[in-house]
Amino acid sequence: LVDSKENPVLFLVLFSNEEISDPFLFTPQLYKNSDPSFLCSSGFWVFKMASSHVVITWMWHILKQMTNRERLSFEQRNVRMRRDSFMFLCSKLRPSPLTVEQRVAVTLWRLATNIEYRSISHLFGIGLSTACIVTQQVVSAILQILKPNLMKVPTGNNLRNVINAGFPNTVCAVDGCHIPIMRPHCDNPLAYLNRKQFYSVILTGFCDSQRRFCHISVGHPGSWHDARAFRLTKVGRVLEEDPHSLVPQGMHIIGDSAYPLLPQLMRPYRDNGHLTARQRRFNRKLNAARVVIEHAFGILKSKFRRLQFLQMKSISDISSAVSACCILHNLCLEPGDQVVVIDDGDDDEPPPQQPHNTTASNYRDIICDQI
């Protein structure tokens, strides 16, 4: 098609041996010194496909030659928006100039240190909002891509890798710790004010003998007891509804006295001053095996110092950040990592009254006799 000055303004691709990405836009300028592949009697010019950035240049060149009325009509019929709106849309959809390596480095720097986004933006030469957005995107990617492979409760042949510290048939150990946070934005922020008078969320962690987390639950209010937070975890619900689907017969999870006594969850005998020698030995063996979860928390908080105080107010963002740190802990855990003991000050909190489970109590007595 030609305009009044016999200048081609629109070209139709009739033949192409290449994959067509923009089948209606290409430029004659690239081929002005070469013969066209085809010239139809009807006046259609046929050229090979041009690159997209040349297409845009050609389109603006044509628009400049139009009157305002013609330009408005062209925009409404073809791109459905004005040029300023078109460029604004492109600016919003343009990929980040940061490489994957830079984005991961920004995120790790944020999680592993106590410095703020302002300092990170200066270190990496990026905007303040960019540092925040990049961190959120990488954290989301870690949860979606890495979590299914790096964090799962051992089943099948993996149950052979039980905690080997003198306590038999243990699948994993469970415990809880507090993650200090700012006063959160939620319906009941005072629920997150714990008994030590600082705001926190509870991280309930399950780990194997290698101090790797196999399941976590994070986000419950800091004023809750560990037992209440445990009941609302996925593992806690499964142990109530269908325990053998998670823990086979004859095996169990171990925890401290804060947790309920179940056939699939062993805890120490409560020391009332009248424990037998066998019961005291049982408690020593169980606590020696259970210490791996405390070591896991210590290594986690020493590597990712952001967990010492999360300056976030969204419980959802807090849960995502803590979960990402636990996944990265599993990824980079080394056998020689130094253990840092984290004291949350909850050992002196009296455990809630638990209903008596005769089956679990008898099973614990059998294990006690075996030890």
- The predicted-structure confidence for 197-245, as pLDDT tens digits, reads as follows 999 999 999 998 889 999 999 999 999 999 999 999 999 999 888 888 8
Task: Report the Cα 291 to chain-centroid distance in Å.
Answer: 26
Instruction: Name the pLDDT band for 185 (thresholds 50, 70, 90).
Output: very high
Q: Please tell me the distance from the alpha carbon of residue 234 to that of residue 315, in angstroms, as a whole number.
A: 18
Q: If DSSP codes are grouped into helix, strand and coil, which group holds residue 330?
A: helix
Q: Please tell me the distance from the alpha carbon of residue 254 to that of residue 251, in angstroms, as a whole number.
A: 10
Query: Sign of the C-alpha dihedral, residues 32, 37, 42, 45?
Result: negative
Q: Are strands 200-207 and 213-221 parallel, antiparallel or unpaired?
A: antiparallel
Q: If DSSP codes are grouped into helix, strand and coil, which group holds residue 61?
A: helix
Q: Which residue matches tokens 């995502």?
A: 320
User: In this structure, what are the phi and psi dihedrals at residue 215, rounded to the nearest 5 degrees?
Assistant: -165, 145
What's the per-residue H, E or C state across 95-137? CCCCCHHHHHHHHHHHHHCCCCHHHHHHHHCCCHHHHHHHHHH
| Bigger pLDDT: 32 vs 142 | 142
Query: Sign of the C-alpha dihedral, residues 300, 302, 304, 306?
Result: positive
Segment of 80-94, 147-161, 186-200 carrying the highest mean pLDDT: 186-200
Q: If DSSP codes are grouped into helix, strand and coil, which group holds residue 181?
A: strand
Non-local CB neighbours of 22 within 8 Å, separated by 6+ positions: 49, 52, 55
What's the per-residue H, E or C state across 276-309? CHHHHHHHHHHHHHHHHHHHHHHHHHHHCHHHHC
pLDDT per residue over 321-341, tens digit each? 999 999 999 998 876 666 665
Q: Maximum Cα–Cα distance for the chain, whole Å?
A: 107
Report the DSSP beta bridge partners of residue 262.
265
Query: Sign of the C-alpha dihedral, residues 307, 311, 315, 317?
Result: negative
Amino acid symbol at 330? N
Q: Give alpha helix (H) positions in the chain.
A: 52-64, 68-74, 83-93, 100-112, 117-124, 128-141, 147-150, 226-231, 234-241, 277-303, 315-332, 358-370
Element (H, E) at 202: strand 200-207
How many Cβ atoms are within 10 Å of 51's Cβ, its own excluded? 13
- pLDDT for res 160: 56
- In the Cβ-directed half-sphere of 333, how many Cα atoms lie within 13 Å? 25
- pLDDT for res 306: 94
- pLDDT for res 168: 86
Amino acid symbol at 215? H
pLDDT per residue over 36-74, tens digit each? 443 433 343 443 444 444 444 555 666 667 777 777 776
Q: Please tell me the distance from the alpha carbon of residue 223 to that of residue 240, in angstroms, as a whole number.
A: 23
Return the DSSP state at 2.
Answer: B
Query: Checking phi first, is residue 211 left (phi over 0); if not, alpha (psi -120 to 50) or beta?
Result: left
- In the Cβ-directed half-sphere of 97, how many Cα atoms lie within 13 Å? 6
pLDDT per residue over 258-291, tens digit each? 999 999 999 999 988 889 999 999 999 999 999 9
Q: Which residue matches tokens 């297409």?
A: 55
In contact, 250 and 269? CB cutoff 8 Å:
no
